[in-house]
Amino acid sequence: MTSSAAGRARVAVVTGAGRGIGAATVLALAADGWSVLAVDCAADDAALPYALASEAELHGLVADANRRAGGDDRVRPFVADVRDVEAIAAAVAEAETRWGGLDAAIACAGVIAGGAPLWEVPRAREQAVLDVDLGGVLNLARVAIPALLRRPEPRSGRFLAVASAAATRGLPMLAAYCAAKAGVGGLIRALGSELGATGVTANAVSPGSTATRMLDESARLYGLPGAESFGGQQPVGRLLDPDEIAAVLVFLAGTASSGMTGVVVPVDGGLAL
């Protein structure tokens, strides 16, 4: 079980918690003894042509996490859109009020859109990708890092984000997504430098093709029969499971990662090779 020197459970806020990598991360943290505020917009976006996680999915995830954690209600839902910095500030404040502080903020919220050259993608879809996938990480950093720094020294706070192999690969018909994820990598490197010797670190994971609803949408955009078509691109010869990404995020959230900051860790089945 993850705990502080004082023996208390550590506290995390996870965005994009309704499904996919975010949901897997909430489950893994809860199993490791964390108290978690599971944040999701829990609504569709008219600019995007596929369904996002619902409020029912978010509440189902929270119930599952609490069952796995022994039923002690350590995981709580919070509906907020990462594009709304005031709503995300309210989520951070809720975690601090409920559990006495914040030890990790994990930005998993993401959307995908494209399916055409950049200049043909509707402006609203492009903006949704940029505002969620990069702007949402910036918003969480803006309000969560001060909370991480409010912990007394010696600190072991963690700001984490989900980038993508798309940050370093030029994927056709996904230009805005590539740009946003490259921005996440740059942000993490800058935060690692800015946080310096505070005891708070900033790191990210860079997943390859992972079996999520977003990857299903990617397959549709490329006219492929299904997400499994992407598995052969990776040297491991398969899609990754969200649990595999979550396991690395939980490690990075813990105290054993204290020597790492400003790093984007590939969890991509060798895709970057």
Is 50 among the residues known to form the active site? no
Q: Give the model's pLDDT for residue 125.
A: 97
Q: Give the model's pLDDT for residue 5.
A: 44
User: CA 150: distance to chain centroid?
Assistant: 22
Give the integer Cα–Cα distance in Å for 69 and 71.
6
Give the integer Cα–Cα distance in Å for 151 and 109.
25
Tokens of 169: 């690969």
Tokens of 64: 């599952």
DSSP 193: H
Q: Specify if 6 maps to a domain.
A: no
Tokens of 225: 């029969």
Give the integer Cα–Cα distance in Å for 3 and 166.
34
Q: Is 150 helix (H, G, I), strand (E, B) or coil?
A: coil
> What is the number of structural domains in the chain?
1
**How do beta strands 158-162 and 201-207 pair?**
parallel
Q: Give the model's pLDDT for residue 94.
A: 98
Q: Specify if 158 maps to a domain.
A: yes
Q: Specify if 273 maps to a domain.
A: no
Which of 240, 249, 126, 145 lies closest to 187 in space, CA to CA?
A: 145
Helices (H), 101-238: 123-130, 136-149, 175-195, 213-221
Q: Specify if 104 maps to a domain.
A: yes
Q: Specify if 197 maps to a domain.
A: yes
**Among the options 177, 178, 180, 183, which is catalytic?**
177
Tokens of 166: 């798309």
For the chain, the 3-state helix, strand and coil shares in percent, each to the nearest 5, are 45, 15, 40
What letter represents residue 130's amino acid? L
Q: Specify if 36 maps to a domain.
A: yes
- Digit-by-digit pLDDT tens for the chain (273 residues) are 454 445 689 999 999 999 999 999 999 999 999 999 999 999 999 999 999 999 999 999 999 999 999 888 999 999 999 999 999 999 999 999 999 999 999 999 999 999 999 999 999 999 999 999 999 999 999 999 999 999 999 999 999 999 999 999 999 999 999 999 999 999 999 999 999 999 999 999 999 999 999 999 999 999 999 999 999 999 999 999 999 999 999 999 999 999 999 999 999 999 988
Q: Give the model's pLDDT for residue 7.
A: 64
Q: Give the model's pLDDT for residue 273.
A: 80
- Entry field: residues in the chain: 273
Give the integer Cα–Cα distance in Å for 271 and 160.
21
Where residue 134 sits, what CATH number does that domain have? 3.40.50.720
Q: Specify if 272 maps to a domain.
A: no
Q: Which residues pair with 3 in a beta bridge?
A: 9
Q: Specify if 220 maps to a domain.
A: yes
47: domain range? 11-267
Give the integer Cα–Cα distance in Å for 43 and 115.
22
Contact 197, 155 (CB under 8 A): no
The answer to whether the bond into 154 is cis (omega within 30° of 0) is yes
